[in-house]
Amino acid sequence: MANIEGERAKHRAAQIDSIKRVASHLIAEKGADGLSLRAVAREIGVVSSALYRYFANRDELLTALIYDAYNDLGASVERSEARISRSDCRRRWAVTCRAVRRWARSHPHEFSLLYGTPVPGYRAPKTTIEAASRVVIVMGEILSDSTIASSHGRSVRRSRDVAAFLDVDGLARILPGVPEDFYVRALMAWTLIFGSISFELFGHYVGSVNSPGRLFDEVVEELGELLGI
């Protein structure tokens, strides 16, 4: 079972790769709605029913592509961030945020797939969530490092018991060393970064923002201050 050397197993892996590659191109060109199994089959020179040997249905293929896209985004952001000196938290923060935006702008349809309207009912296989966390983890590390380094006494609003509405255990794993008072602001930063990019890509800034990139940089800086980075 699952003989990795067999001719069949090899062919299978290659086919799955082909399917995902072609499907990925289709999505990049025409968006998730434009992804048609029949078009994929046509492209790789096979009849449409053959695809069902590899993916039970369209949603399953889409889920696989979502997983890959999260990993692509994550890897891209990790690479950019890794190039910056660990001690320069401000720059790490700015570079990380800009890397997210750059990926989003060069993969608009994939970004929509990840952060736009969810396509299936739910799309929360555990592996997907894990892949989705990669960007968040990078951001969390920066905040952690900066908090530890500066032990700043920056005033944070009266904290209220954050444990009442946040999953403090989960957040503590992403934000080690960061006081709970900061959790709300950290979530705000995460949300606003992706919210800004969505607003830009989805056209909501048309008519009020001429250079979304400049605004984004301002937002990143403002958030850096709010977080004490």
CA proximity to 152, closest of 95, 92, 91, 90 = 90
Q: How far apart are CA 75 and CA 135, in angstroms?
A: 8
Q: How far is the CB of 130 from DNA (least distance, A)?
A: 25
Task: List Cα–Cα distances, 117 to 32, 110, 111, in angstroms.
Answer: 11, 12, 11
Closest CB to its own copies among 16 and 162?
162
> Is 169 one of the binding residues for DNA (CB under 7 A)?
no
Is 65:27 a contact under the CB 8 Å cutoff? yes
* Window contacting DNA (CB under 7 A); options: 50-58, 103-111, 206-214, 219-227: 50-58
124 binds, among DNA, its own copies, none (CB under 5 to 8 A by kind): its own copies
Binding site residues, its own copies, CB under 8 A = 31-33, 112, 115-119, 122-124, 129, 132, 157, 160, 164-167, 170-171, 174, 184-185, 187-188, 191-192, 194-196, 198-199, 202-215, 218-219, 221-222, 225-226
Residue number with CB closer to its own copies (52 or 165): 165
Identify which of residues 38 and 83 has a Cβ nearer to DNA in the complex.
Answer: 38
Distance CA 98, CA 185 (A): 19
- Choose among its own copies, DNA, none what residue 19 binds, the Cβ cut-off being 5 to 8 Å by kind: none
- Whether 113 and 170 have beta carbons less than 8 Å apart is answered as no
What character string, x for contact with DNA (CB under 7 A) and - otherwise, covers 55-94? -xxxx-----------------------------------
Token pair of 146, please? 């900066």
| 21 binding DNA? (CB under 7 A) | no
Residue 25: HSE in the Cβ half-sphere, 13 Å Cα cutoff: 9
C-alpha–C-alpha distance, residues 124 and 130, integer Å? 10
